[in-house]
Structure 1
């Protein structure tokens, strides 16, 4: 039996919004498996979403660059947000993003020329000068008839905390930027249903089947199997719509979907990329009380 720690309870509560006792029971029932615990809570109706807390801790910037029908977005991490505001660091990220236009993957980017040296060496030199660890963590490419970029929380031209690329077919009349802003805000999992991860779909269906069965068994008037199946299909349809760019309600005009907005504008969305600084990275942090306690702790006398 796995040990259920306070940290695990806190993480699951942040991920699901469920109550303390429900979270503890979920972790106990699933032997500490976080994903299984989320599913358990959703099955019991204690959690509405299958999202993890998404806490991100790494600092830095994403840089975007677009040239013709090609676009790239890169993530360069630093230890602190203070360095992310440094003009020299920002210049470095911009240079790395431009170099990425001709790089096929991350390894090629690290070897690409940036000011007469490799991008990786440029970062190493910046570490020595600025005095903080940095790394070129990720890059993503997108090609299309037209590629539009957008950065959220912009720190400079083509620099920010979230970088988005959207590929369109057809004449862009400004809808491309609106769609890119939507991607930054809504963070869709995929372009359409065909692009969704099948394992994710199967997991969601499993949750919905169990949830429907439990609801039905607890009902005073159980529904027939065909009604339950239709209910499950309806919930899955809603899940797909909320998870895919084309199916989501357009943030600029919530009365229609992104697909409908694109069609009205005479364009077809053929792909998108979204990178946010620090996604998937957790940094060990202490709670505020612990930090204050350390600051006020008596110092050891100097040894003479």
Structure 2
């Protein structure tokens, strides 16, 4: 029989190993979010090498994601988020959909939407500058999937990985990249408002392009954000011109310049623009789940321009 002294030494020697393994397991679960069983298996297969175990888990999840994406492909994705990011003369609006609002609040889904917005912005930044005031780049789901991400993989790869993690269908629906001339200011806003990073997420988003008509000292970021709030809330269909007659019923007005300003209904948007001596060159609004045909089968390099 094993002596008490030897037995005590045996358990004493095993305790640090078990503690180290538990620590690795806890670290891997925290980093990846995968189950206890899968993380334990990954560590066992790779001799407790944390980096290799994590990579294996991601490969497995991506493989499962592709399978799940194929299996769940027909399931409706009516929920989701709009992502907005603005960087100087470039901006991007992206819509990513999922099946339920529960997953739309999931951190893995948020990471996917964030990745899609950054990839769209990077694509827009890489496009050549022109003398056009604003250039738009519309992308549909097929085009979005091919965009590269920061780690070199495609958005399609990240989507599969996310589907494998959350177990629910998801889709990259559409995106808009906006490139502005140096004398045009871009602003954006999403609702419900919430950011905390370079990418803001919400259910409705808007981008507005402004041009100053005089060298007046104004806070273009503030005015631009307020105009985007108006666009999000009032959903105008076009900028409008002075030749467009205002609607008889103010509630039915669809021309942006003739609408009562959302933050002060005593004035119109046109009066706000005149006060600050600015002009709206272009705007775009995305609402999650809305019907649209604007991204149907256009080539990726398709652009829409505003003089």
Same fold (TM over 0.5): yes
Q: In the TM superposition, what is the alpha-carbon distance from 1:69 to its structure 2 partner?
A: 1.5
**Post-superposition shift, 1:151?**
0.7
TM-superposed deviation, 1:109: 2.9
Which has more radius of gyration? 2
> Aligned to 1:125, what secondary structure does the other structure show?
helix
Q: 1:117 to 1:195 in 2, by over 3 A?
A: farther
1:97 aligns with 2:117: yes
Residues 118-127 or 236-245, more deviating: 236-245
Q: Which has the higher strand share?
A: 2
Mapped contact 1:76–1:137 kept (Cα < 8 A): yes
Tell me the alpha carbon deviations over residues 198-238 of structure 1, each in whole angstroms, 9 at most, x when there is no partner.
xxxxxxxxxxxxxxxxxxxxxxxxxxxxxxxxxxxx78566
Q: 1:154 to 1:173 in 2, by over 3 A?
A: closer
Q: Does residue 121 of structure 1 match 2:157?
A: yes
Q: Distance in 2 between matches of 1:66 and 1:278?
A: 22
What residue in structure 1 maps to residue 168 of structure 2? 132
Picking from 69, 82, 107, the partner of 1:62 is: 82
Q: Is the 1:173–1:265 contact (alpha carbons within 8 Å) kept by the matching residues of 2?
A: no
Alignment pair present for 1:242 and 2:242: no
**TM-score with structure 1 setting the length:** 0.56
- Cα distance change on mapping 1:244 and 1:142 into 2, 3 Å: farther
State the distance in 2 between where 1:177 and 1:195 align.
27
For residues 144-165 of structure 1, the C-alpha deviation after alignment (integer angstroms, 9 at most, x for no partner) is 3111010101454400111111
1:78 pairs with 84, 91, 98, which one?
98
SS class of match (1:116): coil
Give the conservation status (yes or no) of the 8 Å contact 1:84–1:90. Answer: yes
Q: Does 1:146 align with 2:185?
A: yes
SS in 2 for 1:278: coil
| CA deviation after TM superposition for structure 1 residue 253, in Å | 1.6
| Deviation (angstroms), 1:174 | 1.4
Q: Establish whether residue 258 from structure 1 lines up as the match of residue 269 from structure 2.
A: yes
**Cα distance in 2 between the residues matched to 1:173 and 1:132:** 38
Match of 2:237 among 185, 189, 193: 189
Helix, strand or coil for the counterpart of 1:129? helix
- Structure 1 residues not aligned, in runs of 5+: 1-56, 197-233, 282-304
Give the alignment's TM-score, normalised by structure 2.
0.56
Supply the distance in 2 between the matched residues of 1:163 and 1:181 (Cα, whole angstroms).
9
Aligned to 1:276: 287
Could you tell me which residue of structure 1 aligns to residue 297 of structure 2? none
Q: Distance in 2 between matches of 1:189 and 1:260?
A: 19
The root-mean-square deviation of aligned C-alpha atoms, in Å, is: 2.8
Return the offset for 1:190.
1.1
Residues in 1 aligned to 2:91 and 2:177: alpha-carbon distance in whole angstroms: 6
Contact 2:82/2:96, CA 8 A, preserved across alignment:
yes
Query: How many Å separate the matches in 1 of 2:114 and 2:247?
Result: 41
Distance 2:83 2:98 in 1: 14
Which of 218, 223, 228 is matched with 1:175 structurally? 223
* Cα distance in structure 1, aligned partners of 2:104 and 2:270: 36
Q: For 1:160-206, what per-residue CA distance to the aligned partner results, in whole angstroms no more than 9, with x for missing partners?
A: 1111111111251511111000001001111115999xxxxxxxxxx
